[in-house]
Structure 1
Amino acid sequence: MSDAREGAPRKRGRPARTDAGDGPGARERILTAARAEFAEHGYDKASIRGIAKGAGVDPALVHHYFGPKEKIFGAAVEVAFAPALQAHDIASVGGLETIGERLTRYILGVWEDPVTQEPLLAIVRSAVANETAAAVFRELVTVRLTDRVAVELDVPEPRLRSELAAAQLVGVTLLRHVIKVEPLASADLDEVIAMVAPVVQRHLTEN
Structure 2
Amino acid sequence: MDADFTEEGTVHGGQLRLTHYKTTAYRVRTYQLLSNLPNGTYNLSGWVTSSGGQNSCQLYANSFGGPEQTVAVPTSAGSVQVQVPGIVVTNGQCETGLRTDANAGNYCSLDDVTFAPAQALATAPSATVAAAVQLYPNPTAGTFALAFSLTQASLVRATLLTLTGQVVRVLSDAAQVPAGPHVLALGTGAALPAGAYLVRLACGNQITVRKLLVKQPFR
TM-score, normalisation: structure 1: 0.27
**Structure with more of its chain in strand, by fraction:** 2
**Larger radius of gyration, structure 1 or 2?**
1
Bigger fraction of residues in helix: 1
